Amino acid sequence: MPNRIIKDSIRESESIDALSDKAEIMFYRLITYADDFGTFKADPILLNSALFPRKNYKPDQIKKWINEISREGMIVFYSSADGKPYAYFVTWKNHQQQRAVKPKNPLPEDRNGDLYASIDDVLEHSNDIRNHMISDDITCPRIRIRIRNRNPIQVDNDYCGEPSSDISPPQPDPILKIPLIPKDGEFDVLQKDIDEWQVSYPGIDVLLTLKHLRQWNIDNPTRRKTRGGIRKHISGWLAKEQNRSPGKGQQKGDQISDALRIFRENHRTAMQGAQPDIEPGAD
């Protein structure tokens, strides 16, 4: 690992001064841990062993300190295509010399802009990707290509031990599409999904809420979910909107308004019936 540069101006840095003592120590050690491109593995267990080999800090402590560094805008998190969490120093090129030709880790620009502000977000995203890959393997195991005389045997990469798609029943047209991470495309929301969610969340307009969720994902491409994590994202969003809605309180208010209206009508009728019959012109 090449030597790193720490300039004397770091003593007057407001971002460094905002860190706790442990987070500041972690920042200096991260500089020695990153590769020549400023990237490093962001797994809390690996960070603990690499940065503090003579300590045994808990993963929550590691996450707390590295999140402090991220909040000051000094590092940003991202994930690799296979779901491993990474981070990189934002201003690395301004302070360090690049000697290596190739990076040791995947670069953030290879992830199509999927960046995360906290280690919790990138770990959740990484778990979604790994779970999705596992579910894909269970549904359609990957084919191993054997080598004979250094020539690969030709196989159909689309082969899967599932029934052929040409005998599957036609799928209904989606009501709307929610964008996912780039490699997963879009999630089709069908009418049957909306009907099921409407039963579970009767206090809100599910279709209207899903349109709001879709627009949020369009406007926040770095926070989009994987195909394996989108339903959890939708359920959490709908549950939050359900809790925000007046629900039973509004229904009770309507009942009180109806009771008050009936009382007033009965009172008016009673008062009209109690008026004495007075002939016109009588004293």
Q: How far apart are CA 196 and CA 111, in angstroms?
A: 34
Task: Give me the pLDDT at residue 107, please.
Answer: 86
Do 119 and 194 fall into the same domain?
no
pLDDT of residue 22 exceeding 70: yes
pLDDT digits (tens, 9 = 90+) for 228-283: 899 999 999 999 999 987 654 444 445 555 666 666 777 677 666 655 544 444 44
pLDDT at 122 (0 to 100): 83
User: Residue 169's pLDDT band (boundaries 50, 70, 90)?
Assistant: low
The helices-and-strands tally (H runs, E runs) of the chain is 10, 8
Nearest alpha-carbon partner for 116 in 37, 225, 29, 192: 225
Q: Would you put residue 80 in left (φ > 0), alpha (ψ -120 to 50) or beta?
A: beta
pLDDT at 144 over 90: no
* pLDDT exceeds 80 at position 166: no
User: Against a cut of 0.75, is the pTM above it?
Assistant: no
Q: State whether 19 and 122 are in the same domain.
A: yes
> Could you give the number of structural domains in the chain?
2
Decide if 216 is inside a domain.
yes
Tell me whether residue 141 is in a domain: no
In a domain, 283, yes or no: no
8-state DSSP, 167 = G
What tokens does 31 get? 């500089």
The pLDDT value given to residue 2: 67
List the CATH number of the domain containing 73: 1.10.10
- The percentage of residues in the chain with a pLDDT greater than 90, rounded to a whole number, is 48
Cα 18 to chain centroid distance, Å, stands at: 27
For the ranges 22-31, 145-154, 160-169, 267-276, the one whose mean pLDDT is highest: 22-31
Q: Which of 97, 114, 129 finishes a domain?
A: 129
Q: Which residue range is the domain that position 42 belongs to?
A: 8-129
Tell me what pLDDT residue 208 has: 94
Cβ distance 63 to 124 under 8 Å?
Answer: no
The pLDDT of residue 143 is above 70: no
